[in-house]
Amino acid sequence: MNLSFTEEQEILRKFARDFLASKFPKKVVKEVEESEPGYSPEIWKEMAELGWMGLPFPEKYGGTGMTFLDLAVLLEEMGKACMPGPYFSTVVLGGFPILDVGTEAQKQEHLPRIAQGKAIFTLALTEASGGYNAASIKAKAVTDGDGWVISGTKLFVPDAHVVDYILCVARTDDKAKPEKGLTTFIVETKQPGISHTVLKTMAGKLCEVVFKGAKVPKENMLGKLNQSWSDINRVIDRAVLANCFHMLGMAQQVLDMTVDYAKERKQFDRPIGSFQIIQHYCADMLTDVEGMRLSAYQAAWKLSEGLPCAEEVAMARAWAIQAGERIMSLAHQIHGAIGVAIEYDLHYYTRYLKACELSFGGADFYREVVAQGMGL
């Protein structure tokens, strides 16, 4: 059983680590976080030139033809750097659904622009309940001549304030069962009938998006009419797993920071890392990080191979949430008061890791998925 990276993945990992470390020192992360767009257009352009925007897309659409497993390597390094910006929104939430179920015309129009860094996408799914189930979607789309008109409010939409297009999931059949009456539309944001409000968050940019009669041409319907829920489940699986790799990168960085601190910080004329309790704390952190890594990469491999992986994704997600909480708790115990100082880097990882935990459902939901897979 070979669990090591391929040579190509190792090159990508090392280059991404060096690039992101140079481009996103925490001073820059703070500046980008506090800026109005929440990302650096200059660095965004550089990443596009490196081929990162098109990494998982076929070459005929301007991509590099790599797999989700390769993308996972990059996402882990982005998590390690606490990289702000709409990469996740554009590639995972926007690009993959178009690749999955888009028409050839939609793929030819949008995927090359994503790969070139010229278009930013996101997904508008959740509403007032914050749930990730079909019944929670109340926004409506009704026919209007040769197109559709969308009305409703979406909440917690990532990066909606800077996107060019929103994939909006709306109800197109009120009489059908919740899972049978949903359709996804590619909506241009620079038109009347769409407004957004940036929400106050602990990390990243989330928005409330209000659709008031936003018009969508018929050719912008993504997938089949009233049959989007199975497509959205696939989007959620990928998003959940991508989120796990962000969390893994953060957890690894927190472990590295904590071990370094334990070696340097002295009490009673000796490094605190020489005390058994601190050693055991660090050992527990490493065990949790490696558990996150193994479960996430197993799920990513199965997804890349086109194998059923719902249980593996659920296990990786539940473990990442629980392990992340334990890792952060131990890191703060070892760091003590300095761990909550705004001048110290640990607070970035505390906030970003918690934001990841709160996205796409909690650990209990994914435990239930695993239990159902066991026939319970």
Phi first, then psi, for residue 63 (nearest 5°) are -90, -170
pLDDT tens digits for 255-288?
999 999 999 999 999 999 999 999 999 999 999 9
Place of tokens 């010229």: 118
How confident is the model at residue 130, as a pLDDT?
A: 83
Q: Is 376 exposed, middle or buried (0-12, 13-18, 19+ CB in 10 A)?
A: exposed
pLDDT tens digits for 318-347?
999 999 999 999 999 999 988 888 888 999
Under a CB-based contact definition with an 8 Å cutoff, are residues 158 and 125 in contact?
Answer: no
How confident is the model at residue 207, as a pLDDT?
A: 96
* Residue 217 token pair: 């041409």
**Four-point Cα dihedral 319, 315, 223, 98, nearest 10:** 50
Structural domains of the chain ordered from first start: 7-119 (1.10.540.10), 122-227 (2.40.110.10), 230-373 (1.20.140.10)
Identify the CA nearest to 188 among candidates 161, 157, 167, 213. Answer: 167
pTM (2 d.p.): 0.94
Residues of the chain with pLDDT under 50: none
